[in-house]
Amino acid sequence: MAKVKTLILRAPGTNCDEETTFAFEQAGSAVELAHINRLVGGDTSLSRYQIVVIPGGFTYGDDISGGKILANELKLKLGGDIQRFVERGGLILGICNGFQVLVKAGILPPVENGQRLTLSGNDSNRFECRWVYLQIDPKSPCIFTKGISAMYLPIAHGEGKIMAEKETLDKLNVVARYADEKGDIKAGYPHNPNGSADNIAGICDATGRIFSLMPHPERFIRWTQHPRWTREAPRQHGDGLGIFLNAVDWVKHS
């Protein structure tokens, strides 16, 4: 069987593309990095891939708001291509800035009568860069988190606060919530680093094939990336690798 093909989408300001490439390669996927202009210009096509990823960074400097400019490019220039990619069963992963992009492009959650959810500035009014605990909702349909119950991952963002009306929040497919070290998903700051509603850290669509989260799984692939790796019992790999293994495995068996 041919290798699963993953596209890492880049734009000016993307800065986690190499880490995300490494993660998918470790999971057994063939990976190609492509600037958005290559897709818009027709040099490559989403039809060549089974997985598309928008990695972390600060696309276009986040000059308007986090991910907004790239979101507009996706919506206005590649909207039809993305819709066809999803309809044929492709997987989409958005990490940090990628989460912001997918939300503001109306891809996740799918827009009905206008964008109903956004990511705003952290309640702390500062850039939060540290590690957080996550609890994974066992009822989530998310393909990427299958078999995962909890994670410990780094964050690095200034605009990670999920905001929406209660009606919208109640309809979300929540995948991951910020928690404390005991698994309490109602723990406040600093465990919830941004003030996100209901401690939400990641969501997916109804199929589980489109997934976004604010923490960075690609930054914890090897055990030696753990901040306490010299003081705790060694593990085979970091918590983040499971997300990438699940994605590649699902494509192989779908």
Write out the catalytic residue numbers.
96, 216, 218
The closest of 229, 226, 178, 174 to 203, measured between CA atoms, is: 174
Hey, what are 135's tokens? 């609890």
CB 239 within 8 A of CB 228: no
Task: Give the pairing of strands 128-136 and 150-157.
Answer: antiparallel
> In whole angstroms, what is the distance from residue 177 CA to residue 137 CA?
8
Task: Provide CB contacts within 8 A for 248, sequence distance 6+.
Answer: 4, 6, 24, 27, 28, 29, 51
Residue 218 amino acid letter: E
The closest of 36, 7, 101 to 62, measured between CA atoms, is: 101
Q: Is 48 helix (H, G, I), strand (E, B) or coil?
A: helix
Residue 249 amino acid letter: D
Strand intervals (E) in 102-248 = 117-120, 128-136, 150-157, 161-164, 173-179, 200-204, 210-213
